[in-house]
């Protein structure tokens, strides 16, 4: 353990109006995102990696990225790397191959049966390499009546996450709406705790119909 002088860290703000509300993810920090549907998963994953200015590394049991969607959202697939993992050991050991100051996304964490020691090791490595860490979990059977308990079940050690979000996307009156419950926030963004709703029609349509603009222009 060593002490660090408090400084103003660099931030990464991938989620537009949501990021404005909760603040950007800071270098060396970790955000935990739990979603209840596949569309929300695609939204958070693709927006994060398509908008990151440097290299992005995405680890999961299977890839849930689409090159067409990435291109539709303005991302550069050439700066995104995917790794297939089956154990928490695979995730921890992979970090030595990751460039510093990169975006590091872990999907399906709950399927790898992580222990408390695994989460602490993950956080330590992300902090050491000043990565922007993101854990993304889809849980369609989430118990909305006990979100604190569900978050501890899924993230194991919620205390190591600087931001914790629960996201859902719905379609209402011709618009796609993102509803987010902020359960953990930075000390200077505590006013963002609670429920928020955002219109994400433009981004969702690019995810659902990534080739539409190209087809219309032909």
Per residue in 59-100, pLDDT (tens digit) is: 999 999 999 999 999 999 999 999 999 999 999 999 999 999
Which DSSP string do the residues of 149-171 spell out, in sequence order? HHHHHHHS-GGG-SEEEEEEEEE
Q: Is the pLDDT of residue 207 over 60?
A: yes
Q: Which CATH architecture is the domain 11-217 placed in?
A: 3-Layer(aba) Sandwich (3.40)
Q: What is the pLDDT of residue 32?
A: 98
> 3-state DSSP call for residue 178?
strand
Q: Is the pLDDT of residue 3 over 80?
A: no
Burial 157-177 (b: 16+ CB within 10 A, else e): bbebbbbbbbbbbeeeeeebb
Burial group, residue 128, by CB count within 10 angstroms (0-12, 13-18, 19+): exposed
What does the pLDDT look like over 86-140, one tens digit per residue?
999 999 999 999 999 999 999 999 999 999 999 999 999 999 999 999 999 999 9
> 3-state DSSP call for residue 88?
helix
Pairing mode, strands 25-26 and 11-12: antiparallel
Query: Which stretch of DSSP H or E encloses residue 141?
Result: none
**pLDDT bucket at 213, cuts 50 / 70 / 90:** low
Q: Is the pLDDT of residue 159 over 70?
A: yes
Q: Is the pLDDT of residue 24 over 80?
A: yes
CB 107 within 8 A of CB 85: no
Q: Is the pLDDT of residue 217 over 50?
A: no
**pLDDT bucket at 4, cuts 50 / 70 / 90:** confident
Q: What is the pLDDT of residue 31?
A: 98
CA gap 24, 13 in Å, rounded: 4
Q: What is the pLDDT of residue 94?
A: 97
Q: Is the pLDDT of residue 46 over 70?
A: yes
Q: Is the pLDDT of residue 215 over 60?
A: no
Q: What is the pLDDT of residue 218?
A: 35
Query: Which stretch of DSSP H or E encloses residue 1?
Result: none
Q: What is the pLDDT of residue 8?
A: 80
Q: What is the pLDDT of residue 211?
A: 82
Q: What is the pLDDT of residue 2?
A: 67
Bigger pLDDT: 88 or 214?
A: 88
Structure tokens given for 151: 């978050």
Cα dihedral 144, 147, 150, 152, rounded to 10, equals 170
The overall average pLDDT reported for the chain is: 94
**pLDDT bucket at 188, cuts 50 / 70 / 90:** very high
């Amino acid at each position: 353990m060593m002490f660090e002088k408090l400084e103003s860290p660099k931030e990464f703000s991938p989620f537009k109006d949501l990021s404005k509300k909760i603040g950007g993810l800071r270098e060396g920090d970790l955000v935990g995102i739990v979603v209840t549907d596949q569309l929300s998963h695609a939204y958070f994953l693709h927006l994060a990696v398509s908008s990151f200015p440097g290299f992005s590394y995405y680890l999961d049991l299977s890839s849930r990225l689409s090159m067409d969607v990435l291109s539709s959202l303005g991302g550069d697939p050439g700066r995104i790397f995917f790794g297939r993992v089956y154990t928490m050991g695979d995730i921890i050991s992979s970090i030595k191959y990751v460039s510093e100051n990169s975006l590091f996304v872990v999907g399906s964490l709950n399927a790898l049966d992580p222990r408390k020691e695994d989460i602490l090791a993950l956080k330590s490595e992300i902090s050491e390499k000043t990565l922007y860490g993101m854990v993304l979990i889809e849980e369609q059977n989430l118990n909305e009546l006990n979100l604190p308990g569900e978050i501890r079940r899924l993230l194991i050690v919620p205390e190591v996450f600087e931001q914790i979000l629960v996201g859902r996307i719905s379609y209402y009156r011709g618009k796609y709406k993102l509803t987010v419950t902020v359960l953990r926030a930075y000390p200077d963004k505590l006013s963002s705790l609670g429920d928020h709703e955002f219109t994400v029609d433009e981004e969702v349509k690019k995810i659902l119909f990534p080739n539409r603009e190209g087809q219309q222009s032909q």
